[in-house]
Chain A
């Protein structure tokens, strides 16, 4: 089955950039969606179809997808960005939705 690999955690100082990777075999050929989940809350869509930012999501959030890795970038991290971030793809071969293991972003 298709596997998405994310770093378990990262720490970033406020005002600095954060880049979260999501690795998968030829993931550049798939559409990647990104979700933010703050403590005790339901997930929130922050990026859909590789790089599209839904209404209400700050411009600080951007993303790309190519080759074997998709990336979510927060250009200037704020305290309120502290959360778990998950990537998700549809694997047409197995007909499964797949989530990455999640990356916990801590703001120092």
Chain B
């Protein structure tokens, strides 16, 4: 059974940095693209970033490009999101999601974590 568990979310001041982790199990992690998706409480889903299975392709949403970096450690079945220069508008629950694609970054999301809350506040 696929299991995704995010961690690392906390209250942080604007301008500071934070690293989120997503521990994956129940599938061959190195064979799947992975995404980060965030959601402000009571609002819709917002795509953040995607990373191909081998880490060769990575793309970012415009609001986070240049500030966030997605990466993975296939030896530890873990996905990361390094968040720099955090802004108040980055406050949200961040979920990692497993992509169906084994090559590239397309394909649907067939498993999601429960999320970790990031709150950016002074």
Contacts and interface: CB of A to CB of B under 8 A. Distances in A.
Nearest to B61: A96
Chain A, interface residues (CB within 8 Å), range: 20 to 34
Given A42-B114, A90-B106, A97 B44 contact: no
A49 B100 CA distance: 11
Interface in A20-74: 31, 33, 35, 37, 42-45, 48-49, 54
B27 interface: no
Question: Would you call the interface of chain B mostly helix, strand, loop, or mixed?
Answer: strand
Given A86-B45, A102-B44, A42 B110 contact: no
B108 A97 contact: no
B62 A33 contact: no
A45 B110 contact: yes
Contacts of B32: none
Contacts of B110: 45, 48, 54
Question: Would you call the interface of chain A mostly helix, strand, loop, or mixed?
Answer: strand
Interface of A: 1, 31, 33, 35, 37, 42-45, 48-49, 54, 84, 86, 88, 90, 95-102
B3 to A, nearest CB: 12
A103 B7 CA distance: 29
B44 A99 contact: yes
Contact of B100 (A48, A86, A100): A48
5 contacts: A35-B45, A43-B97, A43-B112, A48-B110, A84-B44
A42 B112 contact: yes
A99 B108 CA distance: 12
A84 B41 CA distance: 13
